[in-house]
Amino acid sequence: MDVSKGKQLTVWILWLLIIPAGLMMTLHFYPLNLDRGLLDMAFFLILMGILSYIPIIINNIPISAYQGVSLAVFLVFGLSAEIIVTQLAFVFLLLTLRLGKSEIYRFPLNSLIFFFVCLLSGMIYYAIGGSAEFNGMLDASHLWYVIVYQLAYFVLNSFLIAFVQMSLHKKKFTLFTIDTLWDGVSTLMILPIGIILFLVYQQMGMVSILLIGIPIISMSLILRLYYNSKEMNAHLKEASKFGQQLTQSLQKEEVLSLFIDRISAIISAEGAYIFDVFNKEIEIQLLRYTENGKEMDKRMKAMRLDSGVCGTVWKTRKAQFYHSRKEWSHLDTGVFPEHVESILAVPIVRNNLVVGVVVMTSAKKRAYEQYQMMIMDILCSYLGVAIENARHHEKARQQSERCALTNLYNFRYFDAKLQEEFNKLDMNILKSLSIILLDIDRFKSVNDTYGHQSGNEILTQLAERLDQIIGKRGVLARYGGEEFVMLLPNMEKAEAYDFAEFIRLSIANKPFTVHSDLDEHRSKLLVPITASIGVASAPTDAEDAQALIRHADRAMYTGAKQAGRNKVAQYVG
């Protein structure tokens, strides 16, 4: 959750007021114990910094052994030394989190938390009788003081974190959470490390830092590599499963929505973009965009394909990723928000051509790793296949639903749509349902006079004219031969009759252009056409879908054709 700039400024002000003065006062009341020298303390700091940078990952929670070294520093050099060393070491810990510009406030915030935790737990240790004088050993009584110190450290840290969550993020104050549990596990793990490091140091001096530090660093590296490998395998498995699910989707819009919804979770990105190459491969446009997992409506003009991050991916045909804004600022076209630091951009390849680009963004620096680019490459391959499958399915579906000559819906589609709309009428979703059935008058004579190709030209032009007239009012289909049918939801019979009359006049008053096949020169001619039209409406005229179409057909033949043609007739029961 974002923290307001006002609260961030407050954190910085508190840090400036508390930390410098607090360190001076701590040094005054708890002076450094430098009997072992500053060089030894510096080596402890180096070990803490290394351990901070390579935390052990358990259940997606980083656990750093540097707190064990911090305990040894406290026991050897005193409270002031622990506070100073911890303040310096935690910077390395935050660097592992790859914070963005909007999260810089976490440096002073964590500095304050570490300061108060170290100070208060150290004061508790001294208040209960703890001492810095051990004479090379740690007896049973002092061991209990150390345990109390570490327990106080754990409780104070949990309390301050809960307080910060409530104050800055408006969350409920909860002292015990799953993170608190893992923090307790961390405390149990690091307590023996700190005690052992202290005891060995008391006997062997600086060599102990190597004897204890190297195994701890090695263990941290091995466990970190194991976790990364395990995480990568989990992502690969999830990507494979998602890819199969993606290729089973047969609608392009469904494919794009499914991809953009899931990709952010798999790659852990704040922003996800799908761009489409179009216009003879000179421009690219944004198709989909999500921010923090929520699909957004971000309208923007198409961009030239030879510029920006997308242009680089298109030219090289290879995935690109950038660790910080400095690396891609020269490619900035204003598409991505100002807070974006890391970018991962992968091409969508279809038929050996780059047809699109997927871009993932993050406000954190170095947010993406090489294996994530590999996963994205695999997913974009699935996306390319899924889009191609959807395109073929759409083409096949269109061919099965559309008339090849007029590109209108065919009888098969219309019949299913009629039943669907009639069901809505039965469920009172629709108040009425009207049908207009239209038949061209004396169409056979047109074919006999000008040829069948000219007849097809008339059918095509009439389809275009009817499609413009009906618009989004209903469904237009070629019923068969020279017959056309219109399905009009929520249109009453009287309104449908007036609409049919308007259609009749639009046909009769404007001749159609044909080229005569029976003429050697295929002369261009204007041919007047009329139509007979029948109208029927439900529930007034029919109780089922088939009855409705029959009654419209009967009105057309008996009320219009047999009455002299070029007429509109409505069904009379």
pLDDT of residue 506: 95
Q: How far is CA 42 from CA 49, 82, 169, 207, 449, in A?
A: 10, 12, 36, 14, 104
Place 33 in a pLDDT band, splitting at 50, 70 and 90: confident
The answer to whether the beta carbons of residues 82 and 70 sit under 8 Å apart is: yes
The answer to whether the beta carbons of residues 52 and 89 sit under 8 Å apart is: yes
pLDDT of residue 494: 95
Q: Taking CA 462 as the corner, what is the angle to CA 457 and CA 468, rounded to the nearest 5 degrees?
A: 130
Place 232 in a pLDDT band, splitting at 50, 70 and 90: confident
pLDDT of residue 231: 74
In tens, the pLDDT along 234-281 reads: 777 777 777 777 777 667 778 888 888 888 778 878 888 988 887 767
Give the residues across from 290 on adjacent strands. Answer: 272, 295
**230-234, 257-261, 413-417: lowest mean pLDDT where?**
230-234
Phi-psi region of 325 (alpha: psi -120 to 50; beta: other; left: phi over 0): alpha
Strand, helix or coil at 402? strand
The per-residue pLDDT of the chain, averaged, comes to 85
pLDDT of residue 138: 66
Furthest CA-CA distance within the chain: 123
Instruction: Supply the pTM of this predicted model.
Output: 0.57
**Mean local confidence (pLDDT), 331-348:** 88
| Closest listed residue to residue 495, CA positions, set 455, 537, 458 | 537
The answer to whether the beta carbons of residues 314 and 347 sit under 8 Å apart is: yes
pLDDT of residue 338: 85
**Could you give the CA distance from residue 172 to residue 518 in angstroms, rounded to a whole number?**
86
In tens, the pLDDT along 488-499 reads: 999 999 999 999
The answer to whether the beta carbons of residues 538 and 422 sit under 8 Å apart is: yes
Q: How far is CA 21 from CA 14, 157, 200, 316, in A?
A: 11, 21, 34, 55
List strand residue ranges (DSSP E) for 78-135, in order: none
The answer to whether the beta carbons of residues 320 and 313 sit under 8 Å apart is: yes
Strand, helix or coil at 564? coil
| Closest listed residue to residue 185, CA positions, set 62, 32, 352 | 62
Domains of the chain: 5-229 (1.10.1760), 248-394 (3.30.450.40), 411-570 (3.30.70.270)
pLDDT of residue 91: 74
User: Which one has a higher pLDDT value, 38 or 505?
Assistant: 505
The dihedral built from the CA positions of residue 534, 538, 543 and 549, taken in this order, carries a sign that is positive
**380-394, 432-446, 457-471, 539-553: lowest mean pLDDT where?**
380-394
